[in-house]
Structure 1
């Protein structure tokens, strides 16, 4: 198992992982294009992947422009192995090395992702649209959560 920064040629496999999830599925997979991935990975922020035998099984992308976690997805066959937690850690460590701006994300209600973010120390701050919870992580909360 290897964790590393995402490369441009990872985008097709990133898209496959994104479209494999059972929760937080896109109503139309064409809504997130390869160009969108490229923009968020290399112009707006940075991303990381986890690969096993040269196959990407999870990824995470932070957006510095909007102080947002754009994506954290894991192929369903690899859930509950600590991979999402490791990607989350790598991503937020990097994010908060860039500055101390509060970061936010949103996820669907009543999902494993919601429980994951609560356990990881994110604070619910309201809703994003009508179908998602909005969470925030401050710099100090990230530091304090990692001390535990």
Structure 2
């Protein structure tokens, strides 16, 4: 497995992974068009991918402008191999090298993703209006 920064030519495969997931699924795939992914990985922040055998099997994207995690998804076939944890580490190390501002994210409650973020040291701070669980991470907690 190879981890690297996401490139524009990765977007088609990023979208495949995004639509394979079983939790935090998109009600309408048109809600996240390719142009949005491109905007996030080239202007708003940065993204990373995990590739194996020429296939992207996971990705993460952080929004530096809004101080939020925009995406972290792994192909279910490659689940529980440490891919999500490494994508998370790369994303968070980069984020906190750019700023010391706290970062937030939202995820569906009572999911494996929610448990993953708790294990990574995120603090639950309530819920968004759409019902997603809201988490925050500050620089000091990340460095622990």
TM-score above 0.5, yes or no: yes
Q: What is the aligned partner in structure 1 of residue 100 from structure 2? A: 100
Shift of 1:34: 0.1
Q: How many residues align?
A: 144
Q: What is the aligned partner in structure 2 of residue 140 from structure 1? A: 140
Q: What is the aligned partner in structure 1 of residue 69 from structure 2? A: 69
Shift of 1:24: 0.4
Q: What is the aligned partner in structure 1 of residue 58 from structure 2? A: 58
What CA distance in whole angstroms lies between the structure 1 residues aligned with 2:109 and 2:64?
Answer: 25
| Segments of 4+ moved more than 2 angstroms | none
1:34-74: CA deviation from partner (whole Å, max 9, x where unpaired): 00000100010000000001100000000001000000000
1:86-141: CA deviation from partner (whole Å, max 9, x where unpaired): 00000000000001000000000100000000010000111112321000000000
Q: What is the aligned partner in structure 2 of residue 78 from structure 1? A: 78
Counterpart of 2:26 in 1: which secondary structure? coil
Residue 45, structure 1, aligned to residue 51, structure 2: no
CA RMSD in angstroms, aligned pairs only: 0.5
Q: What is the aligned partner in structure 2 of residue 125 from structure 1? A: 125
Q: What is the aligned partner in structure 1 of residue 24 from structure 2? A: 24
Shift of 1:13: 0.2
Q: What is the aligned partner in structure 2 of residue 7 from structure 1? A: 7
TM-score when scaled to structure 1? 0.96
Unmatched 5+ stretches in structure 1: none
Unmatched 5+ stretches in structure 2: none
1:6-56: CA deviation from partner (whole Å, max 9, x where unpaired): 000000000000010000000001100000000100010000000001100
TM-score when scaled to structure 2? 0.99
What CA distance in whole angstroms lies between the structure 2 residues aligned with 1:78 and 1:32?
Answer: 23
What CA distance in whole angstroms lies between the structure 2 residues aligned with 1:128 and 1:68?
Answer: 13
